[in-house]
Chain A
Amino acid sequence: MTLESKIPSGPMDKKWSKHKFDLKLVAPANKRKHTILVVGTGLAGASAAATLGELGYNVKAFFFHDSPRRAHSIAAQGGINAAKNYQNDGDSVHRLFYDTVKGGDFRAREANVHRLAEVSVNIIDQCVAQGVPFAREYGGELANRSFGGAQVSRTFYARGQTGQQLLLGAYSSMMRQVDNGKVQLFPRREMLDVVVIDGVARGVVCRNLVTGEFESYAGDAVLLCTGGYGNVFYLSTNAKNCNVTAAWRAVKRGAFFANPCFTQIHPTCIPQSGEYQSKLTLMSESLRNDGRVWVPLRKGDTRSAREIPESERDYFLERRYPSFGNLVPRDVASRASKAVCDEGRGVGPTGLAVYLDFADAIGRDGETTIRQKYGNLFQMYAKITDDNPYEVPMRIYPAVHYTMGGLWVDYNLESTVPGLFVLGEANFSDHGANRLGASALMQGLADGYFIVPYTVGSHIAGRKLDKVTTDHPAFADAERSCREMTTRLLGVQGTRSVDSFHRELGMTLWNNCGMARNDEGLRSARGKIRELRDAFWKDVRVTGKGQELNQTLEHAGRLADFLEFAELLVVDAAERKESCGGHFREEYQTEEGEAMRDDKNFQYVAAWEFKGVGEDPALHKEPLEFEEVHPSQRSYK
């Protein structure tokens, strides 16, 4: 099978308008005859469900949470980018496009990124109209800040709760369509299979997490908006229940998984404090606008931060990257922090931390200003660590945060299974090998409000879709395989908890496929993952029954998928013999320790086809071409 990206012809800045015109339309009166199944109600899913409902489709929305408003998007802190150029500082659609392609280390599709930058401006309009209370200036206009190394101020924010406010906006629009009878909600449902009939995605099977029943739903298109897979590492900044299950089950039905090794490690997270740690907490990137990152010059310096004089501190980001300083992109900052800790200059009880110091900013702007900007983040930090960051520097360390990889989609956001669309963090689309700060929220909402509503229409109008009901035998088959898996999990009756297996998987990946990777480590990780998977199926203990609310069973199912998916992750990392973005291969670096990309051999998207558990997956390459932004070595010096 050849991958068809379906990138429209014509000049970069006309492609999307041309494509919108070329897409087939569904007549208004016909829309109500079609049902669209949306899985996930984060930014991507809620915005898609709302918009499709507004257009007149019947939408069924599934999510494992008790309310759509709890999706992981709610936790995003820092902000959302848009090329509004309200600050008159030289921003434009082209600049946002350029920054995103470059920031992604030339591993994203140009046409997709350009479209994202184009619609970014509409997103902000939409959100403001919904009542999203973005930060404002005294004159009443919207405020912006510079974020994640951007040299223009294009980030819109609502205190440190931007994701919450954007999700509440999308959720309220979706609830309006529930009110109008166009969207039907299915809370506490976990999608466990995609039903493919005559080669087209026509339904899903869910487990009702309250009763344990399996339920089938038929429709004319399936949208997966199920988020990222960062929790394969166990410890990450993601919410506890984020998982790869929906995407992985789709892979088993023929969807390809693209660039799984492109994972993002965020430099500013609260370090792990003990064995019992259940997740890691992000400290927003915006803090690096005012905080200065440093470690002691001397190894093993045990003095407290304030006792170390200026001359004995190493502001290593400012030193190594004089022009970007503390604002270098995430991958660069994370690796630099790891490097100083590896040299033995890390701070705190574990030595796995660096300081993020606000003393200069407080001295310059006063505590009140700093409190206004970051009050809730400082409070969050104080609650977790019991330290007062107004007085002592924060201690931070990198942690798994975001996954650029995801299900492969074409320009229409359609996977290799016709009728199966993938939105938001769950697809691989726009961020290449490294995502810029404040761009995930933008992408999720772009996909849901402004892209998929057009492209789904073309699928429905353009393909002959026979009427399908859940009486079709494919549904019974899918339900049976879901039920079998549950029975199998409950039947092992071993001795080890699900959580302990998950922690071990996480450690294996973090040590071998985290901030630095090498061939030997990746090979041994693959072996360990296989052993762990075997051990899991021999010795896991899943308590309780299938026909009830059973959180252990839910976790076990998700971990079973992670254990299969993890192998693909390391296979992809081993195959990509170059360093780019978040993927750093120790064998491929410059003398100064910077990433060395290999455009000659690896300027492609790696899309993997599933061939069976434990079998080698098949690699399909989508070559990447750059018409507008010419690949160059990223330099933040």
Chain B
Amino acid sequence: MSESINVTLKVWRQSGPGEPGRFETYPLENVSTHASFLEMLDILNQKLTNTGKEPVAFDSDCREGICGSCGLMVDGQAHGPDTETATCQLHMRRFSDGDTITIEPWRARPFPVLKDLVVDRSAFDRIVEAGGYNSINAGNAPDANAILIPKDRAEAAMDAAACIGCGACVAACKNASAMLFVSAKVMHFARLPQGDPERTTRVSRMVAQMDEEGFGSCTNTTECEAACPKGISFSNIVELRREFVRAQVTGRTSR
């Protein structure tokens, strides 16, 4: 494998919310294949700055696939070509010399672009606000081992809780559905005994909020699962539907 490559970047540039955007083309030479994708963008930004141009705005923080800040469409794929990989974990060794790489922000109506590749994902926070919690005040909790939880149940809850809230599932879906994100949160709680008391109101309220934010309906094509950097399984959506129906039939659906 060659140690450095030349690539051409086609990057979405947009000066602010609601402004028209366009692609700009930037050639970039001698990029180390050991550099991460975001380090490659750092190099681009350094180059732009040196020539007095404005660098490309993009969100990132942890750069190790856990904070959920980063998120780019790379050649039309959310988080790029690798499975279970956030954009910040993608490395240039995945690309070849002479490649043209297209880089865009998440495209979904509930995630408006703020600038260049930065979008507003606060809709996710509002969905969590609508019941994505257990109501327990600090100091009120019983001893942690008072309720035993079978290992497989705890593991299954953890599988769902691993979601990083990046929004790739929405970006990958042609309907911009947030079902994978919502199902991960709902099922994390539903699999634990501590989540039981609010099980029915939680699912009803979170789904209602999801609709209110303007996310589309599920296409059942599992594009979300394929894009998810944390391997959140589509089966969560199947179970979410069950939870939702159960809530409609049996439970309180609002507070």
Binding site for B on A (CB under 8 A): 47, 50-51, 54, 65-70, 72, 74-75, 84, 86, 122, 124-131, 133-142, 158-159, 161, 164-165, 168, 171-173, 175-176, 178-179, 185, 187, 210, 239-241, 273-274, 276-279, 281, 380, 383-384, 386, 449-450, 453, 497, 499-500, 541, 543-544, 548-549, 551-552
**With contacts defined as CB atoms under 8 Å apart, how many contacts are there between chain A and chain B in the complex?**
219
- Shortest 8 CB-CB distances between A and B: which pairs? A140-B148, A172-B133, A129-B141, A125-B141, A133-B158, A128-B144, A239-B61, A133-B157
B63 within 8 A of A: yes
Q: Return the chain A residue nearest B34 by Cβ.
A: A273
Q: A138-B151, A175-B129, A176-B133 are in contact. Are A72 and B143 (CB under 8 A)?
A: no
Contacts of B131 in A (CB 8 A): 179
In angstroms, Cα B138 to Cα A122, docked, is 9
Tell me whether A68 and B67 are in contact in the complex, defined as CB-CB below 8 angstroms, given that A172-B134, A239-B61, A383-B91 are known contacts.
Answer: no
26 A-B contacts (beta carbon < 8 Å): A65-B69, A66-B59, A66-B120, A67-B165, A74-B62, A74-B164, A86-B145, A125-B143, A126-B136, A128-B144, A129-B194, A130-B136, A131-B192, A131-B194, A158-B158, A164-B162, A173-B138, A175-B133, A240-B61, A273-B32, A274-B34, A380-B65, A383-B65, A449-B138, A499-B45, A543-B54
Answer whether residue B135 sits at the interface, using C-beta atoms and an 8 A cutoff.
yes
Partner-contacting stretch, out of B35-43, B99-107, B219-227, B236-244: B35-43
A450 touching B139 by the CB < 8 A rule? Answer: yes
**B35 in contact with A140 (CB, 8 Å):** no
A380 to B54, CA, bound (A): 32
Residue of A nearest to B42 (CB): A278
Give the distance in Å from the alpha carbon of A543 to the alpha carbon of B67 in the complex.
27
B132 contact set on A, CB distance < 8 A: 172, 175
Candidates A129, A139, A274, A450; contact of B35 at CB < 8 Å: A274
CB closest residue in chain A, given B56? A551
Q: Return chain A residues, CB-CB under 8 Å to B91.
A: 383-384, 386
| List of A residues within 8 angstroms of B158 by Cβ | 133, 158-159, 165
Further 11 A-B residue pairs, CB within 8 A, beyond A165-B158, A277-B39? A66-B59, A69-B68, A75-B62, A75-B66, A84-B144, A141-B145, A276-B42, A450-B139, A543-B53, A548-B15, A551-B57
Q: A541–B55 Cα gap in the complex (Å)?
A: 12
* B-side contacts of A129, CB under 8 Å: 134, 136, 140-142, 194
**Chain B residue with Cβ nearest A497:** B49
| A173→B139 contact, CB < 8 A | no
Given A75-B62, A140-B148, A453-B138, decide whether A178 and B129 contact each other with a Cβ distance below 8 A: yes
Tell whether A141 pairs with B143 under 8 Å between CB atoms, given A66-B121, A161-B66. no
Is B161 interfacial (CB-CB < 8 Å)?
yes
| A452, chain B: closest CB distance, angstroms | 11
A424 to chain B, nearest CB (A): 16
**B70: shortest Cβ distance to chain A, in Å?**
10
Roughly how many angstroms separate A127 CA and B115 CA in the complex, as a whole number? 37
CB-based contact B138/A51 at 8 Å: yes
Distance in angstroms from B39 CB to nearest chain A CB is: 5
Provide the bound-state CA to CA distance between A165 and B155, in Å.
Answer: 13
Given known pairs A276-B39, A278-B42, A543-B49, the reply for A131 and B142 (CB within 8 Å) is no
Partner of B149, one of A136, A171, A552: A136
Cβ contact within 8 Å between B136 and A173: yes
How far is A497 from B139 in the complex, measured between Cα atoms in Å? 49
User: Is B130 in contact with A133, judged by CB distance below 8 angstroms?
Assistant: no
Q: Point out the residue from A131, A384, A551 that lies within 8 Å of B55, measured CB to CB.
A: A551
Contacts of B45 in A (CB 8 A): 499
How many angstroms from the CA of A423 to the CA of B195 in the assembled complex? 29
Interface residues in B12-69 (C-beta closer than 8 Å to A): 15-17, 32, 34-36, 38-40, 42-43, 45-46, 49-50, 52-55, 57, 59-69
Per the bound structure, the CA–CA distance linking A278 and B46 in Å amounts to 12
Q: Are B128 and A137 in contact (CB under 8 A)?
A: no
- With beta carbons under 8 angstroms apart, the residue of A51, A131, A449 that contacts B189 is A131
Residues of B within 8 A of A175 (CB): 125, 128-129, 132-133
- Quick check: is B154 within 8 A (CB to CB) of the other chain? yes
Contact with A along B58-98 (1 / 0, CB 8 A): 01111111111100000000000000010001010100000
Whether A133 lies near B192 (C-beta < 8 A) is yes
- The contact of A210 among B114, B143, B192, by CB within 8 Å, is B114
Residue of B nearest to A140 (CB): B148
Complex interface: chain B residues within 8 A of A139 (CB): 148
| A276 touching B154, Cβ below 8 Å | no
Instruction: Name the residue on B nearest A178 (C-beta).
Output: B129
Q: With a CB–CB cut-off of 8 A, which chain B residues contact A127?
A: 144
Contact yes or no, A278 B39, CB < 8 A:
yes
Assembled-state Cα–Cα distance A361/B61 (Å): 33
User: Which B residue sits closest to A130, measured CB to CB?
Assistant: B134
Q: Are B149 and A185 in contact (CB under 8 A)?
A: no
What B residues does A499 contact at CB under 8 A?
Answer: 42, 45-46, 49
Q: Would A122 and B121 be within 8 Å (CB), given that A65-B69, A274-B32, A543-B53 are in contact?
A: no
